[in-house]
Structure 1
Amino acid sequence: MNAQLTEIMRLITNLIRTGTVTEVDRENWLCRVKVGELETNWINWLTLRAGGARTWWCPSPDEQVVVLSMGGNLETAFVLPAIYSNQFAPPSDSVDGCVTEYPDGGWFEYEPATGRWHVRGIKSMVIEAADNITLKTGEFVVEADTTRINSEVVINGGVTQSGGAMSSNGVVMDKHGHTGVKSGGDTSGGPV
């Protein structure tokens, strides 16, 4: 009877455990977790979606997780990420905000209190759309060393330009002369 009770207690104890990820196999979507003095075999981790819509976010080594074991058997366990730790503290203390911080310094934050979505610390951003991208806002500001548009441009409204030269096909528009200038109603020659 004691052996049965001991086995039942072991299985109950193993139903839900906390541990630390030791290794990750990205190709097979598996990880190993140190739980107390034990280390699991390769086991799956849970994700938000794994059907027609899918998400991917593998756990990191040293990340604290919950190990859920059906029937208390660690051979059938899977990992539920994640638990904050001193090594990996929360990236924010906002009441309602949503923040994702990446190891390279990338930062995505939406703060309902200000209605602001803030992305910083990334090296580049690519948005690809097969049909259309529409931006609707009261003001659109671009601050960049260089802005390049590699397509035809249609502007349905006025254009105000200041603070530098405007050129077209190598000719500075506000500082160029014309050849064949004549008085009266004649047309001058092309720009120099």
Structure 2
Amino acid sequence: MNTLQPFAELASADLQNRLAKMILIGTVAQVDYDTARVKVKVGDWLTTWLPWLTHRASNDVNWQALEIDEQVMVFSPCGDTAQGVVLGSIYQQTQHQLVSDIAVEERQNIHRFKYQDGTVIEYDRAKHKLKADVNGDVEMNVNGFDGSEAKGDLSVTVKENADVNVGKNMTAIVAENVVITAGKSASVTASDNIEVKAKAILLDASADITIKAGGTLKLNGTKISAQE
């Protein structure tokens, strides 16, 4: 009788068990946003708290938490699930709708990120086009700025209010025409002087024009005329 056979069978069974647990697919059941760990449900079994993989986690840090019911893959070194790491998400059938509006032959050139609130950030490398459709506010703080240049046309549309606050000076240089159109009133206010210089200045109003001065009103010209 081979007295080592039971041990060999036990070792073989342990090896098979470890191999079976090296790579598992399940869904996120619980999330700890403080420690960046999740518990994954695989069938009827629930893992311990496991870290999830991220792009960077040193001086440069990337943060994007997994969510409940997200399908993921778990890799466990030597089949030890206590040392497991959640590698990342796996597409489910419903997620394919994210690019359903794009032709199949064009999808290889699209990098799109869609958030739960409907916000979409997209870059098309074939068309060299970056698109941001934000379902809410956009806030940008820049400590230093060397300049921005658009070699083609630039269009900015604001459906509600727009505010521009400049702490010091602001200069706008336009090679050709500038057109400002207001559906209602237009107002320019300065705590000091307002200066307008041009070869010719035309003020045209379909109703009245009122000029109000708290001090002296001066009209200087080589020729001043009034017509009715």
The normalised TM-score by structure 1 is 0.84
The aligned amino acid for 1:150 is N
The residue aligned with 1:146 is: 161
CA drift of 1:112 comes to: 1.4
Query: In the superposition, relative to structure 1, how do residues 160 and 7 fare at CA in structure 2: closer, same or farther (>3 Å)?
Result: same
Partner of residue 80 from structure 2, selected from 66, 73, 91: 73
Shift of 1:86: 2.7
Instruction: Report the CA distance between 1:24 and its aligned residue.
Output: 0.6
Question: What aligned pairs does 1:18-33 form with structure 2 within 5 A after superposition?
Answer: 18-33=25-40
Number of the residue aligned with 1:167: 187
Match status 1:155 vs 2:165: no
2:15 is paired with a residue whose SS is helix
The TM-score normalised by the length of structure 2 is 0.71
Deviations 1:74-105 (A, max 9, x none): 11111011100134446225112111111111
Q: Does 1:98 align with 2:105?
A: no
- Tell me if the contact between 1:84 and 1:90 (Cα under 8 Å) persists in the aligned partners: no
- Answer with 1 or 2: which has the greater Rg: 2
Q: Which protein has the bigger helix share?
A: 2
Check 1:174–1:143 CA distance in 2 against 1; reply closer, same or farther (3 A cut). farther
Taking every aligned residue pair, what percent have the same amino acid on both sides? 22
Partner of 1:190: none
Q: Deviations over 1:115-158 (max 9, x none)?
A: 11111143011111111162211332221233322224312235
Tell whether the 8 Å contact from 1:22 to 1:32 is kept in structure 2 after alignment: yes
Residues 153 and 14 (structure 1 numbering): CA distance in 2 closer, same or farther, change over 3 Å? same
User: CA 1:169/1:100 → structure 2, altered by over 3 Å: closer, same or farther?
Assistant: same
Deviation at residue 47 of structure 1 after TM alignment: 0.5
Q: Structure 2 regions of 5+ residues with no counterpart?
A: 1-7, 191-202
Q: Which residue of 2 aligns with 1:108?
A: 121
Counterpart AA for 2:189: N
Structure 1 runs of 4+ off > 6 angstroms? 179-184
- Which residue, 11, 14, 17 being the options, matches 2:21? 14
